[in-house]
């Protein structure tokens, strides 16, 4: 069967092809094998098993569903991943995925990624997972019921990645970015996750420390207030809306953070523990966050404090012009800017800088998290304009 070529400019060496599944090729993996760099694979409405891999040679592919809600990858709680991408320039668009034991959509060491108009629910690790990838976009996506994090972009310097107009809900963490430098997280909703937005520094991954990310114009609500699946060593930070965990020179501005169980916005050190092997450690002092700016946020109804800076943090962390009723230490916005280095609060440090294993065990015991398979199915979401 002939595939359908796109219109090709005069002088182009070869046309780009649209390969339809199952019309032209019966399986998604078969279409990936048949595709050349730059081709588009279009999935018809239906349920697909997932478990697909895009090898490194298949760069610049687009994999697109005809309808976001009717093209569904179903892992049946048996398969590990929906789609794993090893190639640069790969876009995955306009489909849904659920019930994978690990991740729904996973870019591993792949630059130039795009994840748009995707819906994910009930996965054992991450909804949209980008590891060691630069220059990418995640937008107009919805992730619910992820047991590690709804979104992860990490281990990149500089990342030059943007997460915008997304929703993360009922997941252990909304955004986790270990050692991610230069991610922009903006104009998105983070609702009833264990923790909302958590850029973090740890020694288990490449390129520490985390730095220079921008978190702006987000709505972060009710962090730690709902029962969510938890399979992450970041469980010790459940109940924080926005957490700068050992990161440097980040900007947190013009966000609305309400109803956090513990802290609205918190800045604190992280120990040099290997995150997923809490018994191991490296010599030397902890990662001490410095140069972070927390500006013009509305932070309200937090359980312990709306704004928090832990004792043991580094220099030049600035809290200014935020609308917030309570801070630890008291008077934080008066003493922290410009250029000053407040001592930070000892109780915040005692709460958030304990050994990872201790915080994880306490969170699991206290919260009795449900299995990821038990979380509710989200409502249908808008399809990508134009299909």
Contact 313, 269 (CB under 8 A): yes
Who's near 334: CB < 8 A, 6+ residues apart? Answer: none
Tens-level pLDDT at each residue, the chain (387 residues) = 334 444 334 444 445 689 999 999 999 999 999 999 999 999 999 999 999 999 999 999 999 999 999 999 999 999 999 999 999 999 999 999 999 999 999 999 999 999 999 999 999 999 999 999 999 999 999 999 999 999 999 999 999 999 999 999 999 999 999 999 999 999 999 999 999 999 999 987 789 999 999 999 999 999 999 999 999 999 999 999 999 999 999 999 999 999 999 999 999 999 765 555 545 554 456 899 999 999 999 999 999 999 999 999 999 999 999 999 999 999 999 877 876 667 899 999 999 998 888 899 999 999 999 999 999 999 999 999 987
Q: How does DSSP classify residue 178?
A: E
Cα dihedral 93/96/102/103 (nearest 10)? 20
Give the CA distances from residue 53 to residues 56, 58, 83, 125, in Å, rounded to whole numbers and listed in that order: 9, 10, 6, 18
Cα–Cα distance between 221 and 167 in angstroms, integer?
12
Contact 113, 132 (CB under 8 A): no
pTM of this structure: 0.94
Write the secondary structure of 211-224 as one string of H (helix), E (strand) and C (coil).
Answer: ECCEEECCEEECCC
Cα–Cα distance between 350 and 346 in angstroms, integer?
6
Residue 83 falls in which region: left (phi positive, over 0), alpha (psi -120 to 50) or beta: beta
């Amino acid at each position: 069967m002939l595939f359908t070529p796109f219109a090709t400019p005069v002088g182009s060496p070869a046309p780009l092809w649209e390969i339809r599944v199952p019309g032209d090729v019966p399986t998604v993996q078969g279409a990936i094998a048949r595709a050349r760099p730059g081709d588009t694979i279009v999935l018809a409405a239906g349920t697909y098993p997932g478990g697909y891999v895009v090898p490194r040679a298949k760069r610049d592919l687009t994999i697109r569903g005809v309808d976001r809600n009717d093209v569904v990858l179903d892992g049946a709680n048996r398969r590990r991943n929906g789609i794993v991408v090893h190639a640069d320039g790969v876009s995955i668009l306009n489909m849904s995925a659920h019930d994978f034991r690990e991740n729904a959509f996973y870019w591993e060491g792949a630059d130039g990624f795009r994840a748009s108009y995707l819906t994910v629910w009930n996965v054992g690790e991450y909804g949209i997972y980008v590891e060691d990838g630069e220059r990418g976009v995640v937008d107009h996506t919805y992730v619910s019921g992820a047991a590690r994090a709804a979104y992860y972009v990490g281990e990149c310097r500089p990342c030059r990645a943007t997460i915008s107009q997304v929703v993360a809900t009922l997941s252990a963490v909304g955004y986790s970015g270990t050692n991610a430098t230069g991610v922009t997280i903006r104009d998105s909703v983070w609702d009833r996750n264990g923790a909302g937005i958590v850029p973090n520094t740890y020694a288990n991954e490449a390129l520490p420390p985390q730095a220079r990310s921008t978190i702006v114009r987000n709505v972060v609500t009710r962090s730690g207030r709902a029962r969510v699946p938890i399979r992450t060593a970041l469980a010790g930070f459940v109940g924080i809306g926005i957490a700068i965990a050992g990161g440097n020179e980040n900007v947190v501005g013009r966000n609305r953070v309400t109803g956090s169980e513990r802290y609205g916005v918190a800045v604190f050190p992280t120990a040099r523990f290997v995150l997923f092997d809490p018994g191991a450690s490296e010599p030397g002092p902890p990662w001490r966050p410095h140069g972070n700016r927390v500006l013009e946020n509305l932070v309200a109804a937090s359980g312990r404090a709306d704004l928090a800076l832990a004792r043991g943090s580094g220099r030049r962390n600035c809290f200014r012009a935020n609308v917030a009723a309570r801070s630890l230490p008291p008077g934080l916005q008066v003493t922290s800017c410009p250029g000053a280095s407040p001592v930070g609060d000892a109780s915040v440090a005692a709460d958030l800088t304990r050994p990872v294993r201790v915080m994880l065990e306490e969170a699991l015991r206290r919260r009795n998290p449900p299995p990821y398979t038990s979380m509710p199915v989200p409502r249908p979401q808008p399809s990508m304009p134009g299909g």
